[in-house]
Structure 1
Amino acid sequence: MSDSLSQEEIDAMMAGAVTNDTAEAKDDIDEKTKQDIIGEVGNISMSQAATTLSSILNKRVSITTPRVEATKFGDILGAIDTPKVSTVVGFKEGLVGSNLLLLEVKDAIVIADLMMGGDGKPENKQFTDLELSAVAEAMNQMIGSASTSMATMINRKVDILPPNVKLWENPEAVHYDNLDKDADVYRISFSLSVEGLIESEIMQIFTADMVEDIAKAMLSDKATTVRDDEKVESKTTVETSTAEPTTEAPQQEEQEKSTVEKPVEVSKPEFQALNDERKAEGDNLDLLLDVPLNLSVVLGRSEKKVRDILSFGTGSVIELDRLTDEPLEILLNGKPIATGEVVVINENFGIRITNILSPTQRIKRLK
């Protein structure tokens, strides 16, 4: 038995073996593993981005499973059909490299129109600075959500820079100064659908350094989790095998037994005798007579879009949905209780009640 190893030595050897295997995996990650990892990361992060875009546009947004391809950056630029809207998002902390998104111009115009309160079918098909700012805000929130999701997956804080959105109108305008055309990149393509308005493709381009960094982080986290689980299991086994019975156990059992067998006193509760005498009480309604209530009168309502409200100025006229001879609603704490007509009392406006709503009518007004 002199040649046997202690549990501490076994733990050290297991930890060292896992660490060495992990180091070798980090230094030599095969291409298929990289593509699988970046596809998984892209799928989860862009699904979160789609949820954010859906809340911005108030439309249902869906993104399909990504298609990952390793290629040269120059090959991607050469195959781009202009015009395109490019969005470059750099990483300030957590990851190395940048994220390039490409979007069709017609789709960007639809997104901008929805963000400004339109119906997604704009008459103006030109991509102006206004649409550029709207798309930049949408991309900023989308990539922000995707980065947050990515940070959770790699267990690392990820912070992005403000997005740089540009319009590539023609092939001569297609360029990206921060990346050489011979650089190795990964293209992640998604089919984007926005509730009957957009059926297109959105493309993410990751640099090779960024993919390498994400793959190492993902593999490192998985290896660390396995190693921690093995340590916990090993420790539990050692504690179980070295546990010995003590002489205090019988004494403790006797104390518990004596505690359980101790008689418990049970007695009936005593209550005050009831009688039929009732004291005369005043009208409870008197307690509510001094409670203040908010009474208001609705002249009419109108629904406007954001662009219409922003165009309001002194002298603007807003048409309401009520005719001049229609009775006005009288609200009590925001709930309709009656209708009436406008009168003038001295120099103040007033309202003459013409009808008190029944409970059934009040319920119908609330629907």
Structure 2
Amino acid sequence: MMSDMLSQEEIDALLNGTASTENSEQTEHKPQVEDFLTSMERDTLGEIGNISFGSSATALSTLLSQKVEITTPEVGIIERQRLKDEFPHPYVAIQVKYTEGFSGTNVLVIKQADAAIIADLMLGGTGENPEQELGDIHLSAVQEAMNQMMGSAATSMSTVFSKRIDISPPNVSLLNIMEGEGTENLPEQDLLVKVSFRLMIGNLIDSKIMQIVPLTFAKSLVSELINENASSESSIQETAAAQEATLVQEIKVEAEQQTQTQQEQNVQPAVFTNFETASPQLEMKNLDMLLDIPLQVTVELGRTTKTVKEILEMGPGSIIELDKLAGEPVDILVNNQLIAIGEVVVIDENFGVRVTDIVSKKDRLKKLN
């Protein structure tokens, strides 16, 4: 009879095996951001966050009289049913609804301890020993700080999307998902996009502030921004084509009028000098009328080609490698036309360029044409 009973080791092994199976199933079903957002969509959402929260950091810094930094965001996907895994501790949720420009909601989530420091600073404290229990007055202070942040972010987004964007006053509530508190202010959609920023306020806070939006709303932002850029480019091309067609038509009409006038008055057409066969004296005579016109002189150290992603990833301290070797001659351009070759020199405390080679006079006249 004793042989039919399981030992404690066998019971533990069975329990561990079950837990491992459950953990593996959870891992397998955990959504990955690349399954729902392309690399371009993630970069676009990150750039929108960079621009909007960059201005928000300035507004918050002025409000708190502290240095505020909000760093480059990270974009991820979370399921609503797994919010307790993403936010296991007490947080403060700030819900904002768009009243103009967009139709959707945006929720900011910060740790309750960070909210307490912000509230203490808003109420005239130092932020070093804030009250951890947030009362109505503390939540009101946090609400005003977030209102200033989101208002500044909406202004920046208006510039990005080329239209007026306005928001409702933020709704602030305590968020404790483990106890089911405050979840009513979170988006109801099953799939949510989480954009996490590193938030640093003086020496008081080095934490995260997270932006939660529905996946459908995030995709609509990306789509509208891309379509807006495409429409602007198409509009510019269409305008340029229309202007070109109008100019061609005007030239054609003017040429016909001149031809008709010449025929009526029996006037010989003007003969213009060919620069390729003109004598030096005649060339200088023709150039006398142009000698006082200012031209833009540019010295080109080198060139390179970068992708949009590489440009967006640039920051202070980034190094751009050019297509020329150190000490190699530089190009001297006049009105974006290559005129001469030179080498870089130092004159007192300023840079200069010594001309080492120059294109022929005939080629220069062609480039000025």
TM-score (norm. length: structure 2): 0.55
Say whether residues 1:104 and 2:117 are aligned partners: no
Classify the secondary structure of the residue corresponding to 1:68: strand
Cα distance in 2, alignment partners of residues 137 and 155 from structure 1: 27
Cα distance in 2, alignment partners of residues 223 and 31 from structure 1: 18
Say whether residues 1:204 and 2:185 are aligned partners: no
1:85-234 mapped onto 2 (5 Å cutoff): 85-122=92-129, 124-169=131-176, 171-177=178-184, 183-234=190-241
The letter for the 1-side match of 2:101 is: G
Alpha-carbon deviations, 1:70-100, whole Å to 9, x = none?
2322223432122111111112222122111
Cα distance in 1, alignment partners of residues 106 and 136 from structure 2: 22
Q: Is the 8 A contact 2:115 2:142 kept in 1?
A: yes
Aligned to 1:68: 75
- 1:51 corresponds, among 55, 58, 62, to 58
Alpha-carbon deviations, 1:322-362, whole Å to 9, x = none?
xxxxxxxxxxxxxxxxxxxxxxxxxxxxxxxxxxxxxxxxx
The letter for the 2-side match of 1:129 is: D
Say whether residues 1:84 and 2:91 are aligned partners: yes
Structure 1: tracts of 5 or more residues without a match? 1-28, 251-367
- Following superposition, the deviation at residue 240 of structure 1 comes to 4.3
Aligned to 1:295: none
Cα distance in 2, alignment partners of residues 214 and 231 from structure 1: 25
Q: Summarize the Cα distance change of 1:187–1:126 in structure 2 as closer, same or farther, 3 Å threshold.
A: same
Cα distance in 2, alignment partners of residues 72 and 123 from structure 1: 33
Alpha-carbon deviations, 1:158-184, whole Å to 9, x = none?
221221111125611345336676611
Q: How many residues align?
A: 223
Q: Summarize the Cα distance change of 1:125–1:172 in structure 2 as closer, same or farther, 3 Å threshold.
A: closer
Classify the secondary structure of the residue corresponding to 1:122: coil
- Following superposition, the deviation at residue 41 of structure 1 comes to 0.8
Cα distance in 2, alignment partners of residues 121 and 231 from structure 1: 59
- Following superposition, the deviation at residue 224 of structure 1 comes to 1.4
Classify the secondary structure of the residue corresponding to 2:97: strand
Using the TM superposition, name which of 173-182 and 51-60 deviates more: 173-182
Q: Summarize the Cα distance change of 1:168–1:70 in structure 2 as closer, same or farther, 3 Å threshold.
A: closer
Greater relative contact order, per chain length (Cα 8 Å cut-off, separation 6+): 1
Q: Is the 8 A contact 1:34 1:215 kept in 2?
A: yes
- Following superposition, the deviation at residue 39 of structure 1 comes to 1.3
Structure 2: tracts of 5 or more residues without a match? 1-35, 268-369
Q: Summarize the Cα distance change of 1:231–1:212 in structure 2 as closer, same or farther, 3 Å threshold.
A: same
Classify the secondary structure of the residue corresponding to 1:206: strand
> Once the two structures are aligned, what percentage of the paired residues are identical?
34
Cα distance in 2, alignment partners of residues 181 and 80 from structure 1: 16
Cα distance in 2, alignment partners of residues 199 and 189 from structure 1: 13
Aligned to 1:336: none
Cα distance in 2, alignment partners of residues 104 and 69 from structure 1: 18
Q: Summarize the Cα distance change of 1:223–1:195 in structure 2 as closer, same or farther, 3 Å threshold.
A: same
Q: Is the 8 A contact 1:94 1:159 kept in 2?
A: yes
Q: Summarize the Cα distance change of 1:186–1:180 in structure 2 as closer, same or farther, 3 Å threshold.
A: closer
Q: Summarize the Cα distance change of 1:155–1:123 in structure 2 as closer, same or farther, 3 Å threshold.
A: closer
> What is the root-mean-square deviation of aligned Cα atoms in Å?
2.6
Cα distance in 1, alignment partners of residues 129 and 37 from structure 2: 47
Q: Summarize the Cα distance change of 1:164–1:233 in structure 2 as closer, same or farther, 3 Å threshold.
A: same
The letter for the 2-side match of 1:149 is: S
